[in-house]
A = this chain, B = another copy of it.
Amino acid sequence: MGISVTTGEHDYTLDSKNRLVVPPSYREALLRENGPHFWITTALGDDPCLWFFLPSQWEKLLEDFNEQTRNVKDKTEVRKLRSQIFGKASPVETDEQGRILVPHNLKEFAKLKKDIKFVGMGNKAEIWDESKYRKFESSAHTAMTKLAKELDL
């Protein structure tokens, strides 16, 4: 399946009505999947960004989650995790101009201002406030440089 679709950086602006353009390649991919809508949610790690999925990518995430939590004995823990995944996620459709509406709580979570980075990651996309992304990128770069030295590549 086309990993080529979900790569690359895209610069957009979040307007006063919280609308955000989805890259054309994603819209085409949605059509190819006959999907009804995208999925958007908070990042599950430590990064203050949002995750954005095609239907197939979202299904995959759910499968992985079910797989991983299948043999957890204490189901209250699993319920907590469910609340993180489902509780934050929203299905989003594009308008005629190819824009989605970013839910308030997600905009809040990722501290999105006006300038937005849309970053393809293969199995998902990430949505970043542009200034936050620059900081993250540079720190990621130094960490990577460090690792590169140790790896003797």
Contact = CB atoms under 8 A, between A and B. Distances in A.
A148 interface: yes
A33 to B, nearest CB: 14
A119 to B, nearest CB: 4
Task: Say whether chain A's binding surface is mostly helix, strand, loop, or mixed.
Answer: helix
Contacts of A44: 144-145, 147-148, 153
Given A86-B120, A148-B45, A64 B140 contact: no
A91 B121 CA distance: 13
Interface residues of A, number: 53
A7 B89 contact: yes
Interface of A: 4, 6-9, 36-37, 44-47, 61, 64-65, 68-69, 75-77, 79-91, 103, 105, 119-122, 126, 136-137, 139-141, 143-145, 147-151, 153
Given A69-B147, A77-B143, 6 more contacts: A4-B36, A7-B89, A9-B87, A44-B145, A80-B143, A87-B126
